[in-house]
Structure 1
């Protein structure tokens, strides 16, 4: 495998499972010198294995104290991936649940991007935020999640404009369905998975919603994130890569 991140340092949030874990393992396989892995699940974070020097920090990305105590000196790349899901119509949405989703997905992203940009100031670097096709295409029942991801896309554009003078590139990736544990928090999926199994539930949902007929694997999204982080995309900033199988068409 090409070692295009040889000797570099990268931060990954939500690193203990799904897309974050796949990104961490791919960056390590491609030569990353140091990985700073952040997740709120201590057991899953401790279980992450990758071939790189690893700094692990357990905590809530929306907690400002987490970032004040984390040494990001020499940071080259950041993957702003931590997130939570939820589903409810607006009329029935509990405000505390709205705040929970916005806190992790948007406040946490802001704090992560701010910390990364401060560390990269004067040196350059690249940042990728994991948004979602739900932030591009409106669907009933996902107001908090969709709004948080739409805001991420705009946050990345502002960060890209502000970071350009320091050679900091900021982009987003917006997948549609990805076969990750985040779906387990969505009642519709959880009920269907209990009835017919997770693989069958993913296949059923993808057939209904995605023109290409399947959801992505976490490893596929990780490869796309690595492209946006790497030197091949040196002139790409403020962009959103829709990796949605045609869902938003």
Structure 2
């Protein structure tokens, strides 16, 4: 399957999780060049070395305007706006600095990535997918900053789709529910759950059993396949939409 022959694709947050799984899948499906962005230089370099296509690395913070000012996105055809961080504090326990840290990466970073990608695609068209979250659709305790940022990403994708349509630029979002990625690691409640259940896999199983009707969390590769669909010609008439992939969590 080679839907992305000769494609030049930007993927942010590419060193692990959904970003890495998506980059690998796009490479396997024919991408000519992947532009991979992440703050973790060593991890990104190790991962990129394994990909069967041309690679270019962007090392830095997606919320740093200078990163995009210096980035060579020549010929860009697709983009995956994926970089994000989480925070598990309740609103009452959150400091403004915590709020701003999440918004900077998840929202400012998404805006700057979108801006750079859409400018390069003008006159030629393209397809963009933003990684939102079911947390942007359903309220839960401890997701104030993360949920608000992802709700904003969902609407940002809709506005970008309207902006981009005259230029034949499609923009969609995906809103995963629970996915087994490193974004959970280090969150206090997840570390406590690992300790009480006996490990990482057991913690994921416990969370899925509590809140997801299908009783499972997704693997990054599943979400990567759905992102690839949104970017592909099979979704040529789809723009401004959010694909909810949450095992029934938001029902």
TM range (shorter): over 0.9
Q: How does 1:39-78 map to 2 (within 5 A)?
A: 39-48=38-47, 49-78=50-79
How far off is 1:194 after superposition? Answer: 3.5
CA deviations on 1:26-51 (whole Å, 9 max, x unpaired) are: 00000000000000001111111211
How far off is 1:141 after superposition? Answer: 1.2
Q: What is the aligned partner in structure 1 of residue 35 from structure 2?
A: 36
- Contact 1:85-1:185 within 8 A present in 2 as well: no
CA deviations on 1:31-84 (whole Å, 9 max, x unpaired) are: 000000000001111111211100011100000000000011100000000000
Q: CA RMSD in A?
A: 0.7
How far off is 1:205 after superposition? Answer: 0.5
Aligned mates of 1:239, 1:172 — CA distance in 2: 6
Aligned mates of 2:20, 2:117 — CA distance in 1: 19
Count the aligned residue pairs. 248
Q: What is the aligned partner in structure 1 of residue 219 from structure 2?
A: 217
Between 189-198 and 48-57, the greater mean CA deviation after superposition: 189-198
Aligned mates of 1:85, 1:241 — CA distance in 2: 20
Q: What is the aligned partner in structure 1 of residue 200 from structure 2?
A: 198
Aligned mates of 1:140, 1:199 — CA distance in 2: 23
Between 209-218 and 184-193, the greater mean CA deviation after superposition: 184-193
Q: What is the aligned partner in structure 1 of residue 137 from structure 2?
A: 136
Between 221-230 and 181-190, the greater mean CA deviation after superposition: 181-190
Q: What is the aligned partner in structure 1 of residue 241 from structure 2?
A: 239
Aligned mates of 1:153, 1:128 — CA distance in 2: 10
Q: What is the aligned partner in structure 2 of residue 178 from structure 1?
A: 179
Q: How does 1:49-198 map to 2 (within 5 A)?
A: 49-195=50-196, 196-198=198-200
- Contact 1:59-1:66 within 8 A present in 2 as well: yes
Q: What is the aligned partner in structure 2 of residue 228 from structure 1?
A: 230
Aligned mates of 2:109, 2:152 — CA distance in 1: 12
Aligned mates of 1:215, 1:227 — CA distance in 2: 20
- Contact 1:86-1:185 within 8 A present in 2 as well: no
Aligned mates of 1:217, 1:78 — CA distance in 2: 21
TM-score of the pair, normalised by structure 2: 0.98
TM-score of the pair, normalised by structure 1: 0.98
Which SS does the other structure have where 1:185 is aligned?
A: coil
Aligned mates of 2:98, 2:18 — CA distance in 1: 23
Structure 1 moving runs of 4+ over 4 Å: none
- Contact 1:36-1:54 within 8 A present in 2 as well: yes
Aligned mates of 2:153, 2:85 — CA distance in 1: 13
How far off is 1:91 after superposition? Answer: 1.3
How far off is 1:90 after superposition? Answer: 1.0
User: Where does structure 2 lack aligned partners over 5 or more consecutive residues?
Assistant: none
Which SS does the other structure have where 2:108 is aligned?
A: helix
Q: What is the aligned partner in structure 2 of residue 9 from structure 1?
A: 8
